[in-house]
Amino acid sequence: MLERKIPLFTLFGFRVSIDITWLVLAALITWSLATGVFPHYFAGYSNTRYWWMGAAGAMGLFLSIIFHEFCHSLVARQFDLPMKGITLFIFGGVAEMDKEPENAKSEFFMAIVGPISSLVLAGIFFLLYMAGKTANWPGPVKGVLLYLGWLNMLLAAFNMVPAFPLDGGRVLRSILWYAKGDLRWATRISSSLGTTFGFFLMVMGVISFIGGNFIGGLWYFLIGMFIKGASQMSYRQLLVTNALRGEPISRFMAAEVVTVPSTTTVSDLVEEYFYKYHYKMFPVTDDGMLKGCVTTKQIKDLSKNQWPTTKVSDIAQPSSEGNTISPKSDSLAALSRMNSTGNSRLMVVERGKLLGVISLKDMLKFMALKLDLESGE
């Protein structure tokens, strides 16, 4: 999820994007408003006008979610939490954080501002609707404004359900975290409620589907499944963070590294390195000096008939922040870099010298062993 993003614009340093799944949601929202909601509550208009109202309602939802997530991002910035941007996807929006809040106070304020922002928007749309009634604005305009007012009221109410990872679940976690000083315990409780709420929505979806409400039942089920999965994943992520926090790179670093000379042809690289050692990345060195690295991606981007005449030096990636890490960094930094770049192996480099390689597979083995030995549950 969130890997097929379409960038839209940047506002106050925050990059706003949409996942392609949002296009599915936009189409469904427009269709349901134009053929169901608006004709039911505002009779007497043409089909064309209903479709324009549906499109305006979908755009209003888009802007409402952007505003909601933007408020999250602004508060996060106040607490020195780095934000990469805001992405809209089929189940709403998400403010992309590089790390979780470091204390209960920052968690609380960052979470509570979301529902508050939706309530503020609801008030604005209701005031505009009342102004439109006084000024005798066109009926479709007033209908869309009234819809957006109620929509933001519902978004605020839904987000305040104490089910992680909804805003209400994060508020609950911050309160439990502050009360007991145990983030793991607080996350387990709020995630359990999130799982229960997700399962409840899935059951409601099945009931609605059986009752003949196919579209509504489908959305209940999908949203419930998403919340259930996200709540469980959030707890697992916390366990991973606790397992790796403070662990030095040296625990996982392989000092004996298979390197590739830059003069090697791609044909020999594939046969003598990739097929022999089964790694997806190899450092490239000449006379002990690191030149960069070569991965399976560069091979796949090259047609096979070019392999015999192409040298590794022609396709190698130079050393960069994306494929290297300092031996002074901790394991969480390495995992974060792997996650953001998609690289499963990183070169451990100090002052331009290759010290070793750290792999995701070795980190996961250590993490599983540590959780098994130290888990008190």
pLDDT the model gives residue 92? 62
Q: CA 375, CA 377: separation in Å to the nearest integer?
A: 6
Which of 207-221, 239-253, 264-278 is least confident?
A: 239-253
Plot region of 235 (φ>0 → left; ψ -120 to 50 → alpha; else → beta): alpha
3-state secondary structure 260-315: EECCCEHHHHHHHHHHHHCCCEEEEEECCEEEEEEEHHHHHCCCHHHHHHCEHHHH
pLDDT the model gives residue 1? 44
Torsion of the alpha carbons at 126, 130, 136 and 137, rounded to the nearest 10? -20
* CA separation, residue 107 to residues 91, 114, 154, 197, 312 (Å): 22, 12, 23, 21, 48
The listed range with the strongest mean pLDDT (21-25, 84-88, 106-110, 341-345) is: 106-110
- The domain segmentation of the chain, as residue ranges, is 5-244, 249-374
Average pLDDT value for residue range 295-322: 89
Residue 288: CB atoms within 10 A of its CB come to 8
pLDDT the model gives residue 2? 44
pLDDT the model gives residue 119? 96
| Mean pLDDT of the chain, nearest integer | 85
SS3 7: strand
Which of 87-101, 249-263, 279-293 is least confident?
A: 87-101
Higher-confidence residue: 157 or 235?
157
Q: What is the pLDDT of residues 71-87, one digit of tens each?
A: 888 888 888 877 666 77
DSSP bridge partners of 257: none
% of the chain exceeding 90 in pLDDT? 31
Stated as kind and residue range, the H or E segment containing 48 is helix 47-78
Q: CA 323, CA 325: separation in Å to the nearest integer?
A: 7
Which of 84-98, 103-117, 270-284 is least confident?
A: 84-98
pLDDT the model gives residue 137? 92
* Residues contacting 138, CB < 8 A, separation 6+: none
SS3 349: strand
Higher-confidence residue: 19 or 348?
348
Residue range 249-374 in CATH 3.10.580.10 = yes
